[in-house]
Structure 1
Amino acid sequence: MTKAQAHLPDPDNPEPTGDVAGDGTRGTLDRIRVARPELRGALSACATYVADNPWQVRGQSIKEVATGAGVSTNAVHRFTRAIGYDGFRSFVQALSLDLGRVIGSAYGLPSSLVSPSVAAIGSENASVSAQSVIARVFELEIEALADTMRNIPRSIERVVDALVGANEILFVGTGAAMALCELSAYRLMTLGIHSSAASDPGAILPRIFLMKPGDVVFAVSYHGNTRHVNEALEDGRSRGLTTVCLTAVSGSVAGSLADHELMVIGPRTAIAFGQFASRVASATMLDALAAAVAWRLEATALPHANALQTALRSRTSETRRHGTRQPREA
């Protein structure tokens, strides 16, 4: 047995740590992640193409996948067998199920939080309790952050360049992502950068029409499949704006529409822990970007932030001395 074969997933004897499907088998995306470092040549090209474009691949024929990866159809077939499937059809079916779990985990309570067998991991004699479940949440959050940090792309420098050079930044999101958008807009405003956040399609487009080339539309989307968020990216690009997408699913629709795609958490964490971990990792990534912008704009951002803090303290002190101001009589 070669080194590569020794590290490839075995569908008949799955490793316990790879059970992202919850049924004792590795998920497709996780199989690719584990096998990828050991694959070479055409098989490596296939792994890269699928990992970068999973949403497109699930609807493609074997010939289209081969064309996208720049390999032969035979190489695609060998790739699917190398990661434990008996052919292309079973591979595509499993990939579709994987992506379905990613979307589903955005709306439900992850079983990894409440499953006694999972909550007790880490101690042979651990008793299942609320404390063990809470501890497991922290473990998974830390894993998500570590996963994100390991995969910070070099292209993040260009994202920071875009944020620094923009006159206006619009953060777009929905649901839980909107709270992160509002926080990020506030952070950048304290640095002297015109920023705002919107989730209503009726408000997003008018704001985009007021923006100029060089400004930034920054989408935050867990699975990258929200219609009006994707439309905001399309509208931004059509008007010459720089578009950025922060997502947990590589190759998502939103990611393909953005000039720059930033990933938080890997596929295994995305399926096992879903949007719970994504929120923490996304908030950390957005805070890190704000810190990088502050570092780049130190000469102007820090004095602005200090002046703002001074004004806020003064306002607070004045309120304490005089109490709440009464409205003027008409």
Structure 2
Amino acid sequence: MRLNISTKVVGKNTILVPYREHHVPKYHTWMRSEELQKLTASEPLTLEEEYRMQKTWQEDDDKCTFIILDKHKYDQNHDENDSMIGDTNIFITDNDSMVGEIEIMIAEESARGSKRGWEAVILMLLYGINQDIDVKTEEDVGVKYANRCEVCKVLATELQGRLEETGKVHDVIEIGYSLDDVQPKKKTKYEKSELRLIESLEGVCERILEYNIHKERQDSTRFAKGMSQTFQTLHGLVDKGVKVDLGIPYELWDKPSAEITHMKTQCESLLEENESAIEEWYWNHQGKTDLKHFLCTKNALKNTDDSCLFEKLEPKSKGEKGSKYDKSEL
């Protein structure tokens, strides 16, 4: 953010400094951690992409980010990179400029549990009050995360798709073992085996990263594969030589959005919570009861709103042509 481009906020144990280009390599190293990716609902970027993203954070008026330094280490070596322990940012989340949301990440494990994160939040809070920051909220810029119904709907759709793919295999597999080579092993059809279920579940939430946000739609169908009409139009303009500035590098346009990466995390949690229900359906209800109904209505969403399960994508009107960027949608 231009407002904090030359600002340093000093506390007792921490210092907040603007996120600058020389911080990028260490920040990039942090974000290669699968743990931090999951906790922050982030997708890994290349180093080049990280440099481009840092530039947008520094120049845009709707982003306010600081790198957190360990003050005691910095006082000794005056090396910002060596003293980096995390980052923090602030969003104004209401029309009332005195209401905001602060996010924080303490990436260095050695700095956790020492109240440095707590102090950094206090410093950011005081900075926000004193500067009367007007930072756009996620909702202001159109970010709308999936609710539990929408996550379950997508999980059921993707799992059903995987089962249909694996169901085409007609192999017979051997299961169990014997102490000698004389006694034959038990044989079973792959399509009715535990192995098929395991392979169908493996990476099922990763498939969500193939989705995009279709902001021209308002219901659960906004989560779908294929490029949205908005981005089809924008790519078309770029192809014609028109300069389009979205505040992020062109190379990152097709990266999974915050909503999509967060939905992947939501999917993994919902899957873990409902493994037994999926197994129950697979062994006893498959072919008899719809997976969405069994998994979502009867289990994951029991006694809660499941109306999103009945929302369907409107078919394209007769004669409507697709774009070269448009892929098949679910």
After TM superposition, the score normalised by the length of structure 2 is 0.26
After TM superposition, the score normalised by the length of structure 1 is 0.26
Whichever structure has more helix as a proportion of its residues is 1
Whichever structure has more strand as a proportion of its residues is 2
